Chain A
Amino acid sequence: MKIHEHQAKQLMSARGIPVPMGRVARSVDEAVAAVRLLMEESDSRVVVVKAQIHAGGRGKGTFKEHPDVRGVNVVTAGIDGGPQAAEEEVGVLARKMLGSTLVTIQTGEEGKVVNRLYVEQGVDIARELYLAVLLDRASSRNIVMASTEGGVEIEKVAEETPEKILRAEIDPAIGLAAFQANELSHGLGLEGDAADNFGRFVKALSDAATQLDTDLIEINPLVITSEGAVLALDGKMAFDDNALYRHPDIADMRDETEEDSAELAARNAGLNYIKLDGTIGCLVNGAGLAMATMDTIKHVGGEPANFLDVGGGATADQVTTAFQIITKDPNVKGIFVNIFGGIMRCDVIAEGIVEAVGRVGLEVPLVVRLEGTNVDQGRRIIEDSGLKVTNADSLRDGAEKILELTEGDAR
């Protein structure tokens, strides 16, 4: 699960990890009000207005409705004009940003609607660094990744100058050791107060990762101020969904407006669904087989409309919900059901399909491939139902048949 920058900073701040002062704003009035509060609390005359969406690249992203406005805006009017000038400019920005669609390299062309802003104190930046805590699969541990190349995409650094990325493995029994923090700050070329502050920062951050069950914490940039303070200028956190049950406060931070409505409905029904851009809907048991089904459709010349894993023990109700979700997608020109029954019995799936079609209706061609436990009963149930269903003998056969039936539309 992803959360917004302002929520990540709230969690960091609660753990003593320094972040700039800021206020979240859901309306123009709240954004304007934040300016005076921030100027009273800090001596900074500069404020930054940041769009809150679950995607990176906001600083370079622009709004569809207002191509001149970026996702992150530095307001300097307060330096000469005082708080009132800053308020006016923030008001103009907030009016343009709220409710508009921000397009960044990570949102895709459709962009994301901005429903909240974060108004933050401007910071005097001496250096920009990169810092992250994430899982390293090879060592089966979380690692700290740090780099002197802050403010740029870390993938680019990894590709072009991998020697500029420092790593430290976090031993789950010990946490990040003091010497490791020291090695990192030395490697980043930090000295004096900045080195000490960084050491405390990275230790607190790595502890937070373990205690909060994060998938990823990424701070890009981490800034060193001219006084040697270390601050998280940006903050991105994603959490392990499987561990959310022990963090109800974090689970409550979920912003459902950031999620695709069909994906949300699927999750609530215990299904795993991801919408894609193609025309052939798929309903499969097992994540690996579901991916492989998409691949096979593509291989024979079609385009999958979705990934959908009904899981190992789907009920007739779940199959019905799955059909509803698939048929709701206006791009879908045909459906391919691919089941290899292990524990999942083919007769149960067949009953589910018959029931689903009865309830939802079927206006597009349907190809069903059943294999595995109780396959004969399953096939008989579908035959006896009188439904217009095409049977397939194998995954590939099924993919070819559904393509044929949707031919013309699918290509």
Chain B
Amino acid sequence: MSVLVDKSTRVLVQGLGKTGQFHTDKAIAYGTQMVGAVHPSRAGTEFRFEGETDHSGVPRRDDRYSVDLPVFATVKEAVAETGANASVVYVPPPFAADAIMESVAAGLELVVAITEGIPVGDMIKAKRYLQGTGTRLVGPNCPGVITPGECKIGIMPGYIHQRGRIGVVSRSGTLTYEAVHQLTLLGLGQTTAIGIGGDPVNGTNFVDCLRMFADDDETEGVVMIGEIGGTAEEEAADFVKTEMSKPVAGFIAGTTAPPGKRMGHAGAIVSGGRGTASAKIEAMNGAGIVVAETPSDMGEAMVRALG
């Protein structure tokens, strides 16, 4: 098993600009079932993706692939024609929240929003729109979701992953790669790696992911990577303490970040004494989470947590 995505996931791409094209190609090379694209100005055409198969992905495929991806004007139409149940959003920031809502309205189970720089006000509305629906949003401003060997949705490099027994959840893209790479080198591998994104308003938080990993038979432990800003890590620590029996290791970025400065991510800011790394690390230690001292030790921390 795995969480969120697997080999049966059928994915639409929203936004077939340069970035969308590049990563759709990589996803197809990895073996993800990309079934269609939504890009109104190209609707009615087919977009060809071809190249060398990425054999680090879905096993037992030919060395080359060639796919003609149908392009649709609306998500609703794309879903009706392709039976898609997930989408990935590469739409530019001013239009991205609307693209998310369109997928929610079309009833998709999963929407992964990669776009960075969506106005917070737009996300507040999109989050309200999500309430009471069956759609799960991951992101925005995230690397995406991958279940190694089955499905890659997003911008992460596929080859550093290896199917295994650890769930990974992170607010930061490149730190996720760092953790995944270490788990692969240690032979632990990953069940699913989820980037929840660096924005202050996002669709899925740590607790959502921890809950999914707790219920997943194949996941034996979880690496959770947080950063300064907000209190999501504290809430996650609380959940681990009260409801989670699987071992958890973690890391918090931003111990040295000065207060009042936004460290790249819109959500990574210590203000008014809230959201400090030390408060998060303390909460995590208190919940029995093994916290790595440096990001180079995240894999080792997981080994220690597994006992």
Contacts and interface: CB of A to CB of B under 8 A. Distances in A.
Contact of A340 (B121, B177, B225): B177
A30 interface: no
A240 B294 contact: no
A288 B265 contact: yes
Interface in A276-327: 276, 284-292, 294-299, 304, 307, 309, 312
A210 B121 contact: yes
Given A137-B231, A172-B124, A287-B172, A240 B157 contact: no
Contacts of B198: 287-288
Nearest to A171: B128
Nearest to B269: A215
Interface stretch (B37-45, B75-83, B255-263, B282-290): B255-263
B118 interface: yes
A242 B295 contact: no
Nearest to A212: B121
A135 interface: yes
A14 interface: no
Contacts of A272: 264
A342 B174 contact: yes
Interface in B153-181: 155-157, 160, 170-175, 177-178, 181
A142 interface: yes
A213 interface: yes
Q: How large is the interface on B (under 10, 10 to 19, 20 to 34, 35 or more residues)?
A: 35 or more
Contact of A288 (B121, B156, B171): B171
A226 B120 CA distance: 39
B135 to A, nearest CB: 15
A307 B121 contact: no
Interface string A228-252: 0000000000001111011000000
Given A242-B93, A289-B174, A140 B264 contact: no
B132 interface: no
B295 A287 contact: no
Nearest to B266: A242
Interface in A169-196: 171-173
Contacts of B107: none
A288 B197 CA distance: 10
Contacts of B248: none
B286 to A, nearest CB: 20
A141 interface: yes
B232 interface: yes
B133 to A, nearest CB: 14
Contacts of A292: 172, 175, 178, 251, 253, 294-295
A373 interface: yes
B172 A289 contact: yes
Contacts of B228: 291
B274 to A, nearest CB: 8
The size class of the interface chain A forms with chain B is 35 or more
Nearest to A277: B258
Given A135-B201, A137-B230, A340-B178, A298 B266 contact: no
A341 interface: yes
A367 to B, nearest CB: 14
A174 to B, nearest CB: 10
Contacts of B264: 272, 286-288, 290-291, 307, 309
Interface string B113-141: 00001111111110110000000000000
Contacts of B123: 140
A276 B296 contact: no
B95 to A, nearest CB: 12
A278 B285 CA distance: 29
Contact of B124 (A140, A215, A371, A397): A140
A343 B22 CA distance: 10
B272 interface: yes
Nearest to B255: A295
B160 A372 contact: yes
A213 B181 contact: no
Nearest to A272: B264
Contacts of A154: 272
B157 A343 contact: yes
Contacts of B235: 138
B293 interface: yes
B252 to A, nearest CB: 9
A192 B22 CA distance: 63
B102 to A, nearest CB: 18
Given A296-B296, A396-B296, A290 B273 contact: no
A288 B255 contact: no
Contacts of B231: 137-138
A300 B73 CA distance: 54
A139 B96 CA distance: 21
Contact of A287 (B201, B265, B277, B294): B265
B94 interface: yes
A395 interface: yes
A217 B124 CA distance: 17
Contacts of B20: none
Contacts of A299: 293-294
A394 interface: yes
B157 A342 contact: yes
Contact of B156 (A342, A394, A399): A342
B254 A291 contact: yes
B143 interface: yes
A290 B232 contact: no
A349 to B, nearest CB: 12
Contacts of A163: none
B237 interface: no
A240 B119 CA distance: 7
Contacts of B91: none
B268 interface: yes
Given A246-B119, A287-B198, A342-B177, 11 more contacts: A137-B267, A141-B124, A155-B272, A171-B128, A242-B93, A285-B174, A287-B227, A289-B172, A292-B251, A297-B256, A395-B178
Interface of A: 106, 135, 137-138, 140-142, 154-155, 158, 171-173, 210, 213, 215, 240-243, 245-246, 272, 274, 276, 284-292, 294-299, 304, 307, 309, 312, 340-343, 371-373, 394-397, 399
A-B pairs, top 7 by smallest CB distance, nearest first, are A288-B172, A287-B264, A286-B174, A243-B119, A396-B296, A289-B174, A291-B253
9 contacts: A140-B123, A140-B124, A141-B124, A158-B272, A242-B117, A288-B173, A289-B295, A290-B263, A307-B257
